Structure formats: C-alpha cells, structure tokens
Structure 1
Amino acid sequence: MKRISGTTLFTTGALVAALVLPGTTARADDTAPRIDLRVLVVSDGGPATDAIAAELDAAGTPYTEIDLARADRPVIDAGYLADTVDGRNRAKFQAVVLPNDNPFPANSPEMAALVAYERSYGVPQVDAYTYARPEAGLQYPIYGGYSGSLDGAQAQVTAAGRSGPFGYLDGPVPFEDNSPSVGESYAYLSTPAAGADFIPYVDAAIPGTTRRGSLVGEYRHDGRRELVVTFVYNQYQQQFRLLARGIVSWMTGGVHLGASRNYFAVHVDDVLAADDRWNSTLNCTPGDVDCTDPNATPDPIRMTPADVDHAVSWQNTRGFTLDLAYNAAGSVDHREDNNGADPLADRLVAARDEFRWINHTYTHAFLGCEQDTSVVPWRCATLPNGSVKWVSRQAVSDEIALNRVWGQTAGLPLDNQELVTGEHSGLRVLPQQNVDNPNLGPALADNGITWLASDNSREHDQRQVGPATTVPRYPMNVFYNAGRAAEQVDEYNWIYTSRAQGGSGICEDNPATTTCLPAPLDLTTGYAGHIVPLERRIALGHVLSNDPKPHFIHQSNLAEDRIAYPVLDGVLDSYDTLFAPNTPVVNLRMADIGQELRRRAAWRSAVRDGLVTAYRVGGTVTVEGPSGVAVPATMPEGTLRAGSAFGETYAGGRSAWTSVTGAPLTLALPSPAVPAGASSTATGTGGATPAAAPAPAARVPEGVAEAVPPGAGG
C-alpha cells in the first residue's frame, strides 16, 4: 500500500476561512441560522462517550461536555442550545453525542429540548452505546437477534458504510480478545424494526443464524438523524479506533475543525556502532555499567552489508522509509581496528539516499551528569562541594558537531536541526538525575538543534530544552542487546517473570507492569508466538490513534536474525488489511513530527482558552482565532480553493493546517445527495415529537470499563 512520506503534512492558508457547505452556494443567506462548529457531548461517565470525546480531543475538534452525574451541570434547554447573535438565530452545536438514544428520565424536558433542536437545525445525534430497541430503529434482540460478547469476532463494514462515512476502511472490523479471562466487548445485534428507515453501516453475523445484525447504523425518523451504536467500547480498543474517524465524519458531515492521520515512523538507533549482547548466564549485558561481574566480556552485535541490502529491499517492498540514527565513531573505530576497512559504512554511504538520517552523537556518550559507576545502580558524580558534576558544554557540543561533520562529509541527507542523544542523555533521568544537564541547552544552541528526541516512557509531552523542542519517541520492546530471537526471549523472560521462576521480579515489585508473564516463554517459539503479536498490537494502537510520535529500535535488531522485521511487517500487514488505499500510513521524519505535535499543542491551547470562534451561516463558515495559531480543518473530497484542490486528500476527505495571513480563504465544497446535518424526511422548524422512553441500561463488561492491555492473542 502507498505510504505518505514528506516534510509538510498539511498545506497552509488563512486563519479566517469562508467555507462553502455541501448543498449550498458560496453566498451567505441572510435568513439562514448560524451554526457553531462545536460538538455537544453529554456524558454519563461511561467509556463510550469518553472515547468519542477522546477522539475529538486528538483531532482538535472543539466540543463541550456535560456530565449528567454533576449536580452543578447546566440544564439542557432551548436557551442552552440556541440563541440569537446580531439578530440571527444561532445553533450552538453542529452535532450532539448522547450516552444512548435517551439518557434522561421519562418525559424529560431536556430530551424534548434536544429533539426540537435537532429537528429545527438539522443537527445529527450519535447514540454512543444503546440497547437495540424500536425507539432506536431496531428490533429487540430477543426477536432473532443476539446479546453478548463479541470478543475475537469479525465485524464488517457494509456496502452503505463503505460508500458513506466509513469509506476509509477496507471492510473487516476485528474485535479484540486480549485476555481469555476478561470480557472485553458486549453488543446487541439486531435487524431494523418493521417500517424503520434504518441503514446498517457496520454489522456482524448473528450467532446461530444466517442473518447479520447492525452494530453501527443510521436511523432517520421524525425529521432527525441518529447514528445508533449497539456495542460498547473504550478509547483504546481497536474496534473503536477503526470506527472513530467515521463517527466524527458522520456527525459533522465531513466539515469540521480538526484533522487526523494514521502515522508510523521508526527510528533505528546506534547505526555504525555496535550494541553489546545480552548474557543469558549472567542475566545482564557485559559492557553496560550495571553488569559488574568480573567474567563479563562484551559480545558486540553489528550490522553487515547484507543487512543494509535487506533493509533497502524491505523498504522498497513496503513503501516505507526508516530513519537511521548514526554514531560515526563506530565506523572510525572499526576502520582503526581493521586496517582502514569498514564494509558496513561503505554500503550504508552508498545507499544513503534510501534512508533518512539523524545525528545520534559521535560516540553515543552519556551527556548528563558524569556517572559514578562504582555502585549499582550508578549515581551522579559530585564535586568536592557536593554539587553535581556535569558533562561540560564543550563535550556535549563536540559530540554533536563531530558526528555532523562526518555525516556531511559522507553526503548523508541530514536535517541538521534534529538530534538523538545516546540513551536520551542530557535530559533528566530518574532516580539519579532529576533535572536536565544545565549545559545541554547551550550546547544545542551552539549547534542549531531545534528538535531533540526524548523517551516517551519517561516524558509523554513536548517541552523546551534551550532552543530545542523535544520529540517523544515510543520504545519498542525489541531489545537493543538482542540480535537473535532466542536472546530476546531469554531477556524478556528474565525481566517479566517472578523471582520464583528465575526472573527479575519487576512484576512483583510493580504490579502495574502490563507485559508480565505467568510463566517463561519457550525460547524457540516465544518470540514469534508472544512477543511479536504483542508488540504489533501496541504499535498498531499508536498508529490508529492519530499519534505521530515515532517508535525506536536499534541497529542490532536489523542484524543477525533481523528480529525487528516481523514486528514491523505485522504492523503494516495488519494496517493494509484494515484500511482502504485512500488512507495510507503517513511516514514523516522527526522534524515534521515535532512540528505537528507543537502545532497541535498551540491549537488545543487556543481552543481551551476560548480564543477560537467557528460557525457557519448558510453557505459560509467563518473561523477566527489568535494570530500565529494554525487551524486544522477537514473538508469533503472535491473541495476547491480558487479553483484548485484544498489541502491534502486523506481517508476520503481533504484537510489542511490554516495559518494567519490576513486574507480570508474561500472554499467551494461539493454537494452530496443529502446535505450534512439534514434528514431526508426533515420537517424544518416544525414542532418536536414526544421524546421516546429512556433507554434501558446496557451492559458494560469489565474489560471495557477498565481497559485490558494489548495481549499476544486470544
């Protein structure tokens, strides 16, 4: 499948945008109401509404949340939902998300107010998780349907779903089954009620029958449109992550603030250097500071020219580019020890344009405090006055500059603003070093570094370090000190089993560890049978979460047994099975990932602080915000700007980051068969029909209420 790889994710334009809505002309209608581009999320504290709110958060789509459990919450009435601004009627929300089709008491005036509002303004409603019943357009499950677990089941996007809001999917929607002992899903499968205008978008086989029951479908009735979801989920489960984009697209008609992509980038650290091998007898890595056994002899793992050829071939087959973080001293030292020869470096330099390259410092030195390795674990060395002894500014700068010069001499296609320090050193590392090396920031400034890698397992958020902004990276549990599958399994067993089973006992000391093993894995089958599926699921979960953060492995994982490839292939193969060609993986380099994260943070801050106003009037949408803040927007495919395509195409729509230039941006959108937010049977501003009875409580199993971590299978 095609991958997107580039330096700019979204195009830029003006912050104040006039967007032509589907089914309208570019002229604003003086009699049309104003509809704000904001979603109302009414929550009962359940995982389903929380999941939809999390999706809106990640995309940067503004929303207002009302917690039904709070005594001080606002009352939902006509005045809360709509008012008048500058003499024009205003609908304050473009869509409504409810916990179910009716979460209020019987004859609730709040539900009646929502019904009237949705009918009057053509605002759609999402029933985040509701019982299948005639009030939601479905038969009760007892009439030939099904109520129960869908753990491990395979749902499917229907033809209507693929031609509608879920057209970015290839068809299959697998339900997770991470633990055989915990229920992770619950669903009501049913067919449309007699006479109901109901279109299933996602369905699954009804056990014991040849029929299929709806899991996600559109119910049109009484001048309203509802997206009826009859399975429960949380924000981390794969089945929700696959459908989340379509839920937002349906409720907004594909016209909303915010944007999302499926990202995957992989950094390969320590290229040109060698990584010391795990010793299964000593249960440590000779060469590391904590492997103090006098019999410990380092056994290095280093790529070969054949490994480079394999990497190039793999990339060409997959349409994917690896980022190689290199340490030039590894080659310089190798040549000194081998009469000037280094076939690995020669092959990498010859193939340099096949990869992206990142400065990983010259020797991979630790750039924080000077380490006192006379004790285990190590501690920071101190000066006579007791203060910490830091690696100097000059030493840090030399590590950056020498490696850069080697790379430039070799003609590597570097971005000189990017840096990965050895072990992410220089940044704080607990418990030994609770602050950054004060010399790190000045050294970064000396070398023009603006993007600095950090470890996402230590720091989830971006932050400033001198002139640089951090880019958190996900560490893959494919160990740096393993070139062979059996070594990986042996170390994995040591770390994640109990002391009684010969392990480290980390899981006994920290029960929150999610990769604990009930028993040691088989050295022959444990990697392919347990570790690869687990790491694939974890990484794929990041890809499906609109999360651009890169993953990192090490050059040792591309050598010998080449143990990284089964994990990477697992991610990409699974992705290609799930997504249509119009939704490729986005494969960005580190600087562009950092820019994407920073842009999102600024946008979220502006929305949170109430500095963004966005609304539509007839055929025009206006977005206003603070100068200097780029705005993400998603529009339908076919949207034009001054006769040219707007933004970039992705997942059946087009999106762009729009920054301040002082001039308005006018976009002409295509006209769909049913305009966004309107029902085919809408009665316009007619009176509300009586609200249906409250939906009965629907079951939420343990594995949804408390998310089950990704498992190796089930």
Structure 2
Amino acid sequence: MKQPLRLCAISAGFVVLTFMLFSAAIQTAQAQVPAPVACSGPTLDMKLLVVTNGKTEAVFPAIRQILGYLGTPYDVLDMTVNTGGITAAMLSDGGCHGYYQGVIFAYGGYIYTLPGMSILTAYEQKFAIRQVNWYMYPNNDFGFNYPYNGVITSAGTDSASFTSAGASTFWYANTATPVTISNAYIYLGTPLSAPPSGASVTPLLTDASGNALSLIYTLGDGRQYLTQTFDSSPYLMHDLILAYGLINWVTKGIFLGEYHVYAAAQVDDFFINDSEWIPGTPCTDPITHDRTRPDSTMLPFFRINSADMSSLVAWQNKFRSDPLLSNFKLTLAFNGVGTTGNTDWTGLSTRGVANDDLTTNVQNYQQYFHWISHTYDHPNSLNGLHKSDPYGDPDTPQVDSIDLEILTNKYVANGTGQNLDPDSSNSVSPIHLTDFNPANLVTPGVTGLNDTSVPSYLVQDGVSYVVTDTSVIGQPNNGPNPSPNVGIVNSYAPSLYEVPRRPNDVFFNAANWNDDQAEFSCIFNNPVQPPYNSFTAPQILDYVSSSFVTNMLMGDIDPEMFHQPNLHDYDGQGHSLLGDTYDQTFTKYERIYKLPVVSPTLDQLGQNMQNRNTYNLSMATASLTGLSGSNLTISITVPATASVPSAIIPITGLYTVGAESYGGQQISHVPVSRGQTITLPVTPAPPISLYSLTLNPTSVTGGGPQPSIGTVTLSGLAPAGGTQVSLSSSSALASIPPSVVVPAESTTATFTVNTSAVATSTVITISASYGGASKSASLTVTPPLLPMVSSLALNPTTVLGGVQSSTGTVTLSGPALAGGAQVTLFSDNTSASVPASVTVAAGSTTAAFTISTGAVAGSTVVTISASYGGASTSASLTVTPPTVASLTLNPTSVVGGVQSSTGTVTLSGPAPAGGAQVTLSSGNGAANVPAIVTVPAGSSSATFTVNTSIVLVSTSATISASYNGTTQTASLAVLL
C-alpha cells in the first residue's frame, strides 16, 4: 500500500512571542522561585512530564513518537485541559520524593504562560531536573542573545554541525555529517554572550554563520535547559536523528525503556515462481476493464536460479563485513513444492529435480540465511481448510489441509514433520536447512488468521509466530501494530502471535527496475496521484530506501516484505531490487547514524513484541533513590492490580549481570512478578571487555568460495585509538588474523575466517579475548559436497541405426572433485549402446561420450540415462531404420524374351536382424520381377533378376523397389 510522502512544511504560527511583552512575567516568575532544599537521599520516579498547549504543536507527535517507541513513561500536562497549571502536589510529596525525572516543553515559550511555572522551577532546582525545550525562539532565558538574527522559513534549509559537546550528547549519530534542517521554521541566534554569574552556555549544533541551533543552558541553580530553535515533526529527518539524544539527555542516560535500530527483511515464495509485471503490460485488463491484477494470467512467470543466489550471498556477506551491519541476515520464506522438480511450480522446461539448479545447489547457499515456512504449495487461502483430511468429507469436500501445508514443508526443511503430498510424481525430499525454525510461518496472502479454526490448527502443528500486513486496516487479526513495537494476539488461538510486517513499493512481481517502474506507473496513474504518477525507477528507489531509514531511526521493529523475484541479479553484476534498496538504505543510514543494526528472526521479533506488550500491561513503575555516584538504587514495582502475571522491564543505563551492551549503553532486562518490588544498585559497568563473539555462517565448505565472517562486540565504546582484540583458531584449517581492531567510538569489528579443504566434517574453535574476558565460537568445516548430474544432452538426437552415432554430454551441478566424477550411463535398448560410465575430469563440469547404434527394423526411441551424486537425468535418442537409397538395372536395355536384366537395391544402412524385405513391382508385363527381394541382415544391398517377354513393339518398363515407406524406381528398355 502506498503511504504519503512524509514531508511537513511547518509554520512558525503561534511561536513568535515578543520578548519584551513577557519580561515582567519573567521577573515575577524568578522572584517567586524558592531556594532549593537539599535532600540527602532524594527519590525520583522514572517518568517524564510533557507540557503542551492543546497537543497542536507540530513537535508534539514527534515527542510522543520517540517516547512511545522507547517505552518511557510520561504524563502530559495539557494547558487547555489543566487550566490551573502546575501545583506542588503534581510534582512531589513535598519532601524528597519527586514524581518526574525530567521535563519536556513542546514549546519553550510556555514557561511564560504556564500557571504555576514558579513551582515547576523550584522543583527543577531542588531535584536538579533537566528540561528539554523541543522548539523555542532564541532569547536570554534559554541561553541565547536577544534579539535573534533572523529566521529561515520552512521553504529553506540550514546545515547544523555538531560541536564537541554535541558529539558527546548525540554520540550515536555520525557526527561527522552535519544535520540538514528542512521543511521547518528555523530561528537563528547566537549563544548568550554574558551569562549570569554561575551560569554557562554549551552549543550543541551550530551553522556556518555561527548561529547556535541547539544548546544547553546551565543556569547555575540546579536547572539545565536544552533548547532547539527549529521546529520538528515525527517524520522529519533532523528530528529522527536528534530525538533519542534529547530523551537520553533529559533523563541523564538512565530511563525505563530501550532503543535499537532494526532492519529485518523477509523474502516470500522462495523455490516457486511468481508472475512478472513486464514493461508493456496493460494497466487495464482488456477483458474485465478493471485494473490488471498483479497476478493476471496474461503475465509471464519468473523464478530465480542458483546464479542469483550466488550473487545474493556475496552481496549479503559484503554487508556483514561492516561492523554496523554484521547482524544483517535475510529471512527466506519457502514453499517446499518448488524443490520437487514439478515444472508447474518452477516454470522450468524439463521436469525433475536434477534440472533445477536452485534446488540441487541449495547446500551452497542455505547456511547464509534464516529460513521460515510459507506453506508447502502456497494455496490461495488457508481459510476453511480442515486440519488433516485433505479429501474432506461427503458434505464438505476439501482439496488441501493444514497438516499437508505445515507438516510437509517441515519434512522438506529438515526431515521432520510428514510428507503428505498426494502427488506421487513429485520428488519430495529433505533439503536439510540448518537455520530453520518450524515455529515461524508466513501464511499465503496473510490468510487463515481470522478463520475460527485455522489458527488453532496452526498451533497444533507447532506454529507460534505468523505475520500480518500493516497496510490492512479494520480487519480483525490482521493489520498494523496496536502500539509501537507490539504485535497482535490471535483472538481464536491466543498462543498464536502475529508480527505486523510492512509492504513497500518493491513489488512482489518485479524482477528488475523496469518491471517495478511499469507497475508503479500503472498504480499511480489510475487514477493520477501526483507526484508518484511521474516517478522514475531512481525516484522509487530513493523513496523506498528513505522510508526504510525513517523506520530504522524511529526504532521500529516491524520487518519488511519482499518476494523471490526481488532477489534476481538483473544485470549479472550482483544487483537486485532488494540489494539496491538496502544498498541505498544503509548508505543513507551510515551517513547519519552509527548504532549497530539488529536483524531479528521472526520468532525473535515476536518475543520482543510480546515482552514489550507485557511491559506495557504491567503498569510497572520505577524510582531512583540516592545521589548520583553515592549509593544510587532503582526500585521497580509491578502492582498487584497488573493484568499480567509478570513482565520483563527494560532499563537503559542500568548495568546488571548479563545486561545487554548496545551502542555503548547498558540495557538491563529485569523480570518482575505481579505485586513484586525489586531494588537494584546503580553501579558502573565494569571496564570495557569483550561482550560476544559470533560467526556467520557457523558451517562452511572447507576451501569453498564463501568464508565465515566473525564479529567481536565490546561491552562499551572503544576509546580513542581503538581497541585491539586478540584472535586465535584451534586449527590451521581455519585461518584468521591474529587480532582485529574495534574502531574508536564503536563497539564491533569483523574479521574473515578462511578455511582449507577437509576430508571429514571438522569442528574448529575460534576464540577472541580482550579486557580479561574471552569468548569462543564453533565453526563446522565440511568436505566439499558432491556435485550432482544436472543435465544430459545428445547431438544429434536422431540417427540412422548402424550408420550414425550420437555424442552425449553430461553436465554436473558443480566442478568435479579431485580424482574426477564417474558418471554411470545406461541405455534401455540394445539398438543404442553406451559405455558403462564416463569420467568428468577434476575441476571440470562436463564430459562427452559416444553412443553407438545398430540397425533397426522400425523407428525406435531409446532412453539414455546418466546418474551421479544421487541424481539422475535422461535424454531420448531416435534410431531410424534404413530406407531404399537406390535401385539400379544392368543392363538397362534388353531384347524381349531373349535377355534379362539384373536389378540391385541398395539401402541407406545395414539391414536389421532377419533381413530387410524389399517389395518389387513392374509397371509393364513385358518385364517381370519377383514380389520381394531380401537384403540379408547386416548387408545393405541385394540383387534380383528381371525377366522379359517377346514384344511386338519396343517398350519400356518401370521397375520399383519399396521399403520402410521409401521407393526408388528405374527404367528398363525392352526391345523388339
């Protein structure tokens, strides 16, 4: 489904307040501020206060968005609803228990109009509370000189560079890249030239003219303001870049909730073919006059092959060698029927698994991907299917079943489940996927989830996680997230959890950008929808990749949807629609961000969403008690009234044993039961050490073209100069560098594990150590897989028996190993003989052999077969019988009744066993021939006598010889 462009031109509107108008109010507010009261052990609830005036500010949904994705609790004080403003009871118990750890003003100017602002000021002073002013014009009260220098309207842009302080505040951003502020009103001001005694100003973002667009004003009385002088909205890139840093700053780096950058891509229909929307496809169906369906029968089919997968593996490994992208791995949702050699599903010209290199070469690429089920043969719908009676009952006959779809695909994946395919002509065999989780499923067309029975059947067959389509609105058990990073509990089977998945404009039936642009144009020109109706392929790519980056920066966990044609290497240079999309996505991402990208599997996505939902439902609260650096503790409570029995509470900035280290921050996940309070000390994380070592893949072919990529992760950011992690291998069969350097301000680095050929499967231990910690991971090095015979070709395919031979050529699916590959040969008829075997030389993929033939009485089709590597293939040879090549007479002129002539028939080849009986005839009674003449077996000619009679007038006779549908003639002159 198409989403509107996420652009928002923001007007200054109400924000221009005259500084002089409020000077008196400022002085009054300052006069009412009481002196801060020191607390020896203050308690602060881990919650934020957001101040708005009617929730109409453009920045308000941006504030809600970041807090919603983080899961950070907050209260909204709406000045149009709470007209009485701030009261002391809202903020604290009057003693040393404060109810908010930070304050956010949607518009900073509300400090002049918010009733009770003096009470809030006193609270901020007493508890050293920070305040973010998401948008404010520059003036003295926020640490800027006044009057300010001017404005840039929403039609213009400004480029804001990070200062050293800004680089520290927004450490997760690529601070070498300035932030482009556009589609927003911008005030231009300079830092306060002469701050009051005890106050200081720290610019975070400055432009080329010296204007400070974001700064921290430390007032010297316990308060700190961070103020931005530009407007924002949820989808403007500058807000997406800066929002997390604002929340991290206002909470002093410790808060309820967590933040990650996600990129999970799932590819449907693997192993089967899809329709292809080729350029020139009519936008309107000429028969129905409706928009042409994307799977219209007028469209050709397309299916990727083994070469496409080789390109895809190389493309993905390139990304995984990038420390920020080392976790990125595609998930392939497969349909097992496409591995059975059935041309209805593969679209190949020849039936048989041996003719399908995508299947025969599966072990060359399967270990590089996550695999999930997409059902066995992709029925149009799961709705209404019985569980296990594929042939139904007399009242409700069925042609399919849930068991067939789920259990047969399990069987194909790894030999578990059960082969229930009723088509005995399908070669159903396990393909041995090493990273397959049967709990995960993509239902065809997102069907079956709102059926009253199917969800329970899926659960009974071991399915726990499925996907929905975020573009579907208003349909139960389908559609978008009910809240950020939360999925859907199926209403008919609560054990079935639904993960919302995002469609995009890389269409399922597009194998190249010409396809995609053609369909895109049809969609957005019927009716015309500017500006999309004129988009070219580069614009489509830019739009889609930008939307991906937006979702990543939001912290959105939803996976993206693709289909197998999108994996096609359309130019032979390694480019595909999916690859191009993520090439541009990650290029844009790394230009502005430097947090590692997380790529969860479907079950991990589901578990994360379930954990987030139980956290939301737990009504958990948390409080910080004590002074920072002096016996500070966190108390977490799940009330007895919670609707869930327990929850895992995420706390960023808290180190506990086993805490996650992500982007230089510690994230603890604390399990708390209903009615329980847990108190934990806030202690600094131990010195930076090695946090983890991972290998991908964990199994490789020794000496093969694809290595394994190792990733080391530290427990914190590497210091200036980087961190050198020592590496070692338990065997010379897996070679690695002696060390790898984690760059400064990063947490990860990658290295390559190259392997040598092995005779038997060998497990090798790769180890890494740093900071007193060691981690290890196992790598399985396997012998090269035997290639399979993939094709047999004959040339020529029709020969004359006993005269001509044919040349057979066998082709393997991969190079023959050392010693060569001995391919067994067989002929099903003695009229064509083959050697017992032919050897494909080591390193080669083909070998030729000769097929000798014998004479046959009639046209004979012979099947020649070749077998190797557990696969067989065959080809047909037609052996034809001889024909009458010539008929000659000697002499050709005789005196009737006195002389005879000798006829000779010659065949085109040797006569078969039993000889060849050639039929003879004469067209004139003056010349007589026998009815037949027999060419002896193995011979190609025979003679006969032509006797003559006396004639009254010289005449001629036509003598004919016929065999196997051919006739030759000769003339004999009979003279008077």
Query: Above 0.5 in TM-score?
Result: yes
C-alpha distance after superposition, 1:683-706 (max 9, x if no partner) = xxxxxxxxxxxxxxxxxxxxxxxx
- Which residue is equivalent to 2:684? 669
Residue among 407, 426, 436 paired with 1:414: 436
Which residue of structure 1 lines up, in the alignment, with residue 231 of structure 2?
Answer: 232
CA–CA separation in structure 1 for the residues paired with 2:304 and 2:158: 41
Q: Is the alpha carbon distance of 1:294 and 1:146 closer, same or farther for their aligned partners in structure 2, counting shifts above 3 Å? A: closer
Which position in structure 1 is the counterpart of 2:283?
A: 283
Matched, 1:401 2:369: no
Counterpart contact for 1:391–1:437, Cα < 8 Å: no
AA of the residue aligned to 1:339 = G
Q: 2: CA distance between counterparts of 1:617 and 1:66?
A: 27
Cα shift at 1:139? 1.9
Change (3 A) 1:446 1:266: same
Matches within 5 A, 1:550-589: 550-561=559-570, 562-580=576-594, 583-589=595-601
Give the aligned partner of residue 654 of structure 1. 666
Q: Who is 1:479 aligned against?
A: 507
Counterpart code for 1:322: L
Aligned equivalents of 2:147, 2:404: Cα separation in 1? 70
Find the partner of 2:101 among 91, 94, 115. Answer: 94
Q: Equivalences for 1:250-265 in 2 at 5 Å?
A: 250-265=249-264
Q: Tell me if the contact between 2:266 and 2:559 (Cα under 8 Å) persists in the aligned partners.
A: yes
- For residues 510-565 of structure 1, what are the alpha-carbon distances to aligned partners after superposition, in whole Å with 9 as ceiling and x for unaligned? xxxxxx436434xxxx112x100000111111111111110011110111522222
Q: Distance in 1 between matches of 2:265 and 2:633?
A: 41
Question: Which has the larger share of strand?
Answer: 2
- 1:655-701 per-position Cα deviation (integer Å, ceiling 9, x unaligned): 12211378754341279xxxxxxxxxxxxxxxxxxxxxxxxxxxxxx
Q: Which amino acid aligns with 1:272?
A: F
Matched residues in 1 for 2:384 and 2:457: separation? 16
Q: What does residue 378 of structure 1 align with?
A: none
User: Take 2:248 and 2:398, find their aligned partners in 1: how far apart are those partners?
Assistant: 52
Deviations 1:25-66 (A, max 9, x none): xxxx99322111111111122122332232112111111111
Stretch of structure 1 that moved more, 330-339 or 597-606 = 330-339
SS at match of 1:659: strand
Alignment CA distance shift 1:242-1:141 (3 Å): farther
Once residues 152 and 306 of structure 1 are traced to their aligned partners in structure 2, the CA distance between those partners, rounded to angstroms, is 46
Q: Partners in 2 of 1:82 and 1:295 — Cα distance?
A: 65
CA distance in 2, matches of 1:91, 1:369: 54
Per the alignment, residue 300 of structure 2 pairs with 299
Distance 1:348 1:339, change over 3 A: closer
Once the two structures are TM-superposed, the CA of residue 488 in structure 1 deviates from its matched residue by 1.1
- Within 2, Cα distance between the matches of 1:193 and 1:226? 13
What SS does structure 2 have at the residue aligned with 1:130? coil
Post-superposition offset of 1:384: 13
Give the TM-score of the pair, scaled to structure 2. Answer: 0.55
Paired residues for 1:126-141 under 5 Å: 126-140=132-146
Q: Quick one: structure 1 residues 95 and 292, their matched pair in 2 at CA, closer, same or farther if it must change by over 3 Å?
A: closer
Describe the shift of the 1:384–1:216 C-alpha distance in structure 2 as closer, same or farther (beyond 3 A). Answer: farther
Deviates more, 1:588-597 or 1:187-196: 187-196
Question: Which residue in the other structure is 2:333 paired with?
Answer: 325
Q: Say how many residue pairs are matched.
A: 574
Any idea what the Cα deviations from partners look like across 1:354-407, whole Å, max 9, x if unmatched?
Answer: 100010111111234479xxxxxxxxxxx999xxx8978x61221111111101
1:602 and 1:621 map into 2 onto residues whose CA distance is 20
Equivalence map 1:140-151=2 (5 Å): 140=146, 142-143=148-149, 146-149=151-154, 151=156
CA displacement 1:622-664 (0-9 Å, x = unmatched): 111154111010006xx4x3xx5x5222233111221137875
> What's 2:352 paired with?
339
The aligned residue for residue 367 of structure 1 is: 381
Q: Which has the higher contact order (CA 8 A, sep 6+)?
A: 1
Query: Equivalent residue for 1:617?
Result: 626
After superposition, the C-alpha distances for 1:183-232 in whole angstroms (9 at most, x for unaligned) are x2111122211123211112223xxxxx3322221001141200011110
CA distance in 1, matches of 2:181, 2:351: 52
Distance 1:527 1:296, change over 3 A: same
Give the aligned partner of residue 694 of structure 1.
none
Shift of 1:480: 1.0
CA gap 1:285/1:249 in 2 versus in 1, 3 angstroms: farther
Displacement of 1:339 in angstroms is 3.4
Distance 1:495 1:123, change over 3 A: same
Q: Does residue 58 of structure 1 match 2:69?
A: yes
**Cα distance change of structure 1 residues 73 and 601 upon mapping to structure 2, 3 Å threshold:** farther
Aligned runs of 1:115-134 on 2, under 5 Å?
115-134=121-140
Q: Secondary structure at the match of 1:460?
A: coil
1:294/1:134 CA distance change after superposition, 3 Å: closer
| 2:87 aligned partner | 77
Q: Distance in 2 between matches of 1:232 and 1:111?
A: 23
Letter in 2 for 1:616: T
Distance 2:338 2:436 in 1: 18
Question: Distance in 2 between the 1:285 and 1:553 partners?
Answer: 25
Instruction: Determine if contact 1:400/1:447 at 8 Å carries over to the other structure.
Output: yes
Seen in structure 2, the aligned counterparts of structure 1 residues 62 and 390 have a Cα distance that, compared at 3 Å, is: farther
Equivalent positions of 1:377-392 (< 5 A) are none
Residue number among 470, 491, 494 corresponding to 2:519 in the alignment: 491
Corresponding residue SS for 2:437: coil
Which residue type is aligned with residue 330 of structure 2? Answer: L
Letter in 1 for 2:353: G
TM-score by length of 1: 0.75
Runs of 4+ in 1 over 6 A off after TM superposition: 292-295, 389-392
- Gaps of at least 5 residues in structure 1 are 1-28, 178-183, 206-210, 372-382, 428-435, 498-503, 508-515, 672-714
Asked if structure 2 preserves the Cα contact closer than 8 Å seen for 1:217 and 1:227, the reply is yes
Structure 2: how far apart are the matches of 1:167 and 1:271?
36
1:568 counterpart letter in structure 2: Y
Q: Give the greater-gyration-radius structure (CA).
A: 2
1:631 counterpart letter in structure 2: I
The amino acid across from 2:167 in the alignment is: R
Alignment correspondent of 2:216: 218
The residue type paired with residue 618 of structure 2 is A
RMSD of aligned Cα (Å): 3.2
Match of 1:163, SS? helix
2:633 matches 1:632: no
Provide the rounded CA distance (Å) in 2 between the counterparts of 1:291 and 1:474: 23
Matches for 1:528-547 after TM superposition, within 5 Å:
528=538, 530-547=539-556
Q: Letter of the aligned partner of 1:160 in structure 2? A: A
Structure 2 CA distance for aligned equivalents of residues 151 and 478 of structure 1 = 31
Letter in 1 for 2:362: L
Q: CA 1:117 to 1:655, structure 2 compared with 1: closer, same or farther past 3 Å?
A: same
Say whether residues 1:460 and 2:480 are aligned partners.
yes
SS at match of 2:516: helix
Q: Structure 1 residues 99 and 339 mapped into 2: Cα distance closer, same or farther (>3 Å)?
A: closer
Is this contact kept in 2: 1:34–1:90, CA < 8 A? yes
The more displaced of 436-445 and 356-365 is 436-445
Q: SS of the counterpart of 1:442?
A: helix
* Seq. identity, %: 25
Q: Which runs of 5+ in 2 are unaligned?
A: 1-37, 321-327, 386-392, 415-429, 473-478, 482-486, 571-575, 640-644, 687-976
SS of 2:623's equivalent in the other structure is strand
Cα distance in 2 for partners of 1:664, 1:97 equals 27
What's the CA shift for 1:351?
A: 1.6
Note the 1:177-256 alignment, pairs <5 A: 184-196=183-195, 197-205=200-208, 211-223=209-221, 224-256=223-255
Find the counterpart in structure 2 of residue 513 from structure 1.
none
Q: What letter corresponds to residue 282 of structure 1 in structure 2? A: P
